[in-house]
Amino acid sequence: MAPGAVDPEQPKLSFFGKEAKSSSGEINSSREPLIVGNHCNEEYTVAAAILPFLFPALGGLLFGYDIGATSGATISIQSSSLSGTTWYNLSSVEIGLVVSGSLGGALIGSVLAFNVADFLGRRRELICSSILYLVGALLTALAPNYPVMVIGRFVFGIGIGLAMHAAPMYIAETAASQIRGRLISLKEFFIVLGMLLGYAGSSAYVSLVSGWRYMYGSSAPVALIMGIGMWWLPASPRWLLLCAIQGRDRLEVAKETAKCCLCKLRGITDDSFALEQIDEILAELSYTGQEKEASLWEVFQGKCLKALIMGAGLVFFQQVTGQPSVLYYAATIFKTAGFSAASDATMVSVFLGLLKLIMTGVAVVVVDRVGRRPLLLGGVSGMAISLLLLSSYYTFFKSSSFMAVIGLLLYVGCYQLSFGPIGWLLISEIFPLRLRGRGLSIAVLVNFASNALVTFAFSPLQSILGAGVLFAIFFVIAIVSLIFIFYFIPETKGLTLEEIEAKIL
């Protein structure tokens, strides 16, 4: 048998161990190269890979910055001497709208992405996101009254929803398979970096009159840079080819445009590699019958349903294992442990932000070497242990404050090694190309909705059940999530997006 040839008798295995069959029930051998994964490493230059990652990642930076800045802005805007407004005397509901306005907008953005993502394409969706970021930041910062401020928060949030949907898709579809995991995980690093910058901005502006305006207004220049950068970057070659397959563009024109885009994105001058990869993408699109545009119900059928169970399940467990709630207790835990300097909420936030940044950096370095599954299984196991420690502390060992500190730090570190970066990475990889825009929008919607659910339900549950019982519930959920990861989440390290679709779905 010639080198690289495929044994026609070799079974084609899916993720669940079944033979790949045609609709007639016979084993189909036409996709052998993708099934066995015999491909050379994709060519790219590091210099060319930076900007196609950096400008989409600024969307994550702005998301994180908004979280950090809002913590200080709510203090500033309620101060009679520093708010600089006559409407500073806000009720708890009104403050709640300011805090959650961007989250509500993100939910709206996720719904919008379901309908417009495939029409706009990844690049133009990110451009729209940057415009919404800019308009939202300016509306909030320059708001003459409270209603305009809330509108600005919702507009900014819609930008978050679109950015968190399109950025991982654009990075995944344009990056070489060898560095795809590293780059998408690095987007999570940018979110955490944005949080730190937001906390730093809060500290810098909180003592100024109308400091909250500066906190929110600082997002505007970054949004402008993001928009200009995305305007300069080329479109996703995979999206261009999908448009051609579906009859929205001429195939030869799309192939030539996709070739130029791929060469620019990878920093290569050899057309032969670009043409080879384009032919592989087109072959897989033709094989899987992606000539028709995706309908609403197709998202809940076949391959996409399998990907949706994996992706939506992963981001659901990412939130319901208590990530927003554990951080809620950070300041209290440090205070009871006797760290008086850390009892200030801002100092605690900065300290935990640095830890999150460091651990996310570790995940970025090792994700394409170790793989996705080992990081998820190891990290979530550590989260389960930390939740058990926190539950035990609040139930039985309230005098052992070191147990709570260890539990808190272990939780934060393990989350950033696993669910934090790997959740966003996997949902950008596993959906079929034709359904990727809609499938990913549902996964992002589940992420923001479950985040909102945990955030809003935490206080009443804590008052009814107590912290010890609540952390015990999170511990049980973490164990369930481990079982889910073990049986349902595949390893995608080193595979092209086409190979993921062929081998796993």
- In this prediction, residue 291 carries a pLDDT of 53
pTM of the complete model: 0.81
The model's pLDDT over 334-375, given as tens digits with 9 standing for 90+, comes to: 766 666 544 455 566 677 778 888 999 999 899 988 999 999
User: Tens digits of per-residue pLDDT, 15-57?
Assistant: 333 333 333 333 333 444 444 444 556 778 888 889 999 999 9
Please check whether residue 107 is in contact with residue 448, taking contact to mean a CB–CB distance below 8 angstroms.
Answer: yes
Cα 239 from Cα 148, distance rounded (Å):
37
What pLDDT does 140 receive?
A: 94
Query: What is the reported pLDDT for 505?
Result: 64
Query: What is the CB neighbour count within 10 angstroms for residue 311?
Result: 26
Distance CA 115, CA 291 (A): 18
pLDDT of residue 359: 92
Question: Is the pLDDT assigned to residue 124 strictly greater than 90?
Answer: yes
Q: If you average pLDDT over residues 310-333, what whole number do you get? A: 80
Q: What is the pLDDT of residues 214-257, one digit of tens each?
A: 999 999 999 999 999 999 999 998 888 888 887 777 888 888 88
Contact yes or no for 270/315 (Cβ under 8 A): no
Residues 6 or more apart from 311 whose CB is under 8 A from it? Answer: 426, 427, 430, 431, 439, 440, 443
- Tens digit of each residue's pLDDT (9 = 90 or more) over 166-175: 999 999 888 8
Higher pLDDT, 400 or 328: 400
- Give 329's pLDDT tier (boundaries 50, 70, 90): low
The neighbouring-strand residues paired with 19 are: 13
- Please tell me the predicted confidence (pLDDT) of residue 28: 38
DSSP string, 306-320: HHHHHHHHHHHHHHH
Cα 21 to Cα 11, 310, 448, distances in angstroms: 10, 22, 37
Distance between CA 245 and CA 243 in Å, rounded? 6
Which residues lie across from 21 on neighbouring strands? 27
pLDDT 10s digits, 251-281: 888 888 888 898 888 888 777 777 887 887 7
